[in-house]
Structure 1
Amino acid sequence: MPKTIYRPEHQALLRLLKEYRTAAGLTQVQCSKALNRPQSFMSDVENGTRRLDIVQLRDLCAVLGISLMELVQELEAAIKAGS
């Protein structure tokens, strides 16, 4: 089995996170600051060089104005749709 970062499911998650960030009208810098992280944090997350644990993902969801459950449901739908 390939590493998680190379799987289509991971790419779907990254796409969703970026879509939610842009829909919230936030820049990568604003998200990083809201999470008390370095400026490059969101860039690293969105390009796949930084992985999030479940607690970090939950915190990011709060900044984006969505629930973790909502993100998971959207991710499952995207995976089932093959995107």
Structure 2
Amino acid sequence: MSKSVFTERYNRFRQLLIKARQASKLTQAELSTKLSRPQSYVSKYERGERRLDLIEFLEIVEALQVEPETFIKKLLEEKEEN
């Protein structure tokens, strides 16, 4: 089994996070400030250089004001479409 960071599902996960940030009209720097993290933190997970754990994911969607259930449902729906 390959590392999930290199799977198509993880790539869709990253793309949805990027779209959610952009829909919130936040730059990486602005989001990183809300998360009390360096800008490189956001950049690395968006590029797939860093994997997120569940707690980090929840912190990010909270900062983006996105319901985690809605985000996950969208991720699952996109899987079914492919």
Matching residue of 2:80: 80
Matching residue of 2:25: 25
Aligned-residue identity in percent? 29
1:10 positional shift: 0.2
Matching residue of 1:49: 49
Instruction: Say how many residue pairs are matched.
Output: 82
1:3 positional shift: 1.3
Q: Over aligned residue pairs, what C-alpha RMSD do you find?
A: 0.8
Pick the structure with more helix per residue: 2
Within 2, Cα distance between the matches of 1:28 and 1:14?
13
Within 2, Cα distance between the matches of 1:73 and 1:58?
14
1:67 positional shift: 1.1
> Which blocks of at least 5 consecutive residues in structure 2 are unaligned?
none
TM-score (normalised: structure 1): 0.93
Q: Which runs of 4+ in 1 moved over 2 A?
A: none
Letter in 2 for 1:55: I
21-30 or 62-71: bigger deviation: 62-71
- Aligned with 1:25: secondary structure? coil
Matching residue of 1:15: 15
